[in-house]
Amino acid sequence: IEARDRVINEGLLGKIAHAEVCCYYHMRSRENPAVMPVPANLNYEMWVGPAPMTEYCGMQHPRKWRAFMEYSNGIVGDMCVHMYDMVRWMLGLSWPSRISSTGGILVQKDARATTPDTQTATFEHGDLHVNWTHRSWGAAPDPEYPWAAFIYGENGTLKMDVHKYEFIPRGRGEKLTGQALYEYDKYPEDETEKDLERHVASAVRGHMMDLLANIESRGRPVADIEQGHISSASCMLANLSMKLGRSFQWDPATHQVVGDDEANALLARPYRAPWVHPHPERV
């Protein structure tokens, strides 16, 4: 909020026409365990549900299901969605009009994971493009910002992550910086709460309070479910673009890819029998 108010709203960047979001964490599993019997306390058939069945290897449950595209949306759906959502909010962007993505498993080919270890995506918002890049190998171009967003303007650059932000002016001008807000004086439990990500505690609390206030006032919270849908669906569409090997135009009014029957047929995954997709016409 401070970065938006001090930099974006004050016009310090000048004309903005490009943004980048990225993640260079080595978060993709490199394991390749052998197939093993399903534990007696796990109903794997129900766990998989309508998704594609994969041979159980111990990674699927409880947490490493993220390594499988059968059960996740890859690193784009895991990490891009957060930074892209922040950029959209800061710049007042709605749906992208065109989406493209390329990538695949280019380096870590000996792992059991099926998620891409490398991927780029472009979300076009008129003259402003937001580009995503992730690599689960190698080094980050800017080691200070391995999971971050960069907004570029004629007059400077705004760098942001979940810990800090920096405004770097082009040429002369004042460099601005800010840090995550810690509220230990008001909420001392933030220092002792188990497993709490302390750098985002105040932001999470702010969202909770905003939601409760808007429930009472019948207003619309800043993190409205529609905004979450736009960011999440856009990342899923990037995966679809990568899978099909082509870019496409998105119509938010109809929730359809323009002129691409093959892409539209893949907007809903086929369900594994005997599960049946809850299509509106059948509910």
Which two structure tokens, joined as six digits, stand for 198? 């302390």
- 230 three-class SS: helix
Query: Any idea which residue has 């980050």 for tokens?
Result: 140
Q: Which CATH number fits domain 25-138+225-282: 3.30.360, 1.10.3470, 3.30.390, 1.10.132?
A: 3.30.360
**Helix or strand holding residue 5 (H, E):** none
Q: What are the residues whose beta carbons fall under 8 Å from the beta carbon of 211, sequence distance 6 or more? A: 221, 223
- The string of pLDDT tens digits covering residues 72-118 is 999 999 999 999 999 999 999 999 999 999 999 999 999 999 999 99
Q: Is 84 exposed, middle or buried (0-12, 13-18, 19+ CB in 10 A)?
A: buried
Strand order in the sheet with 128-135: 176-179, 164-169, 156-160, 147-153, 16-23, 128-135, 118-125, 98-104, 248-251, 256-257
| pLDDT confidence of residue 106 | 98
Query: Residue 283: is its pLDDT beyond 90?
Result: no
- The string of pLDDT tens digits covering residues 234-264 is 999 999 999 999 999 999 999 999 999 999 9
> How far apart, in whole angstroms, are the C-alpha atoms of residue 146 and residue 194?
25
> How far apart, in whole angstroms, are the C-alpha atoms of residue 101 and residue 122?
6
Sign of the torsion angle spanned by Cα atoms 250, 252, 253, 254: positive
Q: Are 78 and 98 in contact (CB under 8 A)?
A: no
The answer to whether the pTM exceeds 0.85 is: yes
Query: Domain residues of the chain, as ranges?
Result: 25-138+225-282, 181-221
Query: Which pairing describes strands 16-23 and 128-135: parallel, antiparallel, or unpaired?
Result: parallel
Q: Are 187 and 123 in contact (CB under 8 A)?
A: no
Greatest alpha-carbon span in the chain: 66
Q: What are the residues whose beta carbons fall under 8 Å from the beta carbon of 256, sequence distance 6 or more? A: 250, 264, 267
> How far apart, in whole angstroms, are the C-alpha atoms of residue 57 and residue 176?
49
DSSP summary character for residue 43: -
Q: What are the residues whose beta carbons fall under 8 Å from the beta carbon of 72, sequence distance 6 or more? A: 65, 66, 78, 115
Other CB atoms within a 10 A radius of the CB of residue 76 amount to: 27
Q: What are the residues whose beta carbons fall under 8 Å from the beta carbon of 133, sequence distance 6 or more? A: 20, 21, 22, 119, 120
Half-sphere exposure at residue 223, Cβ-oriented, CA atoms within 13 angstroms: 16
| pLDDT confidence of residue 173 | 87
- The string of pLDDT tens digits covering residues 9-18 is 999 999 999 9
Query: Any idea which residue has 């188990």 for tokens?
Result: 194
- The string of pLDDT tens digits covering residues 179-221 is 999 999 999 999 999 999 999 999 999 999 999 999 999 999 9
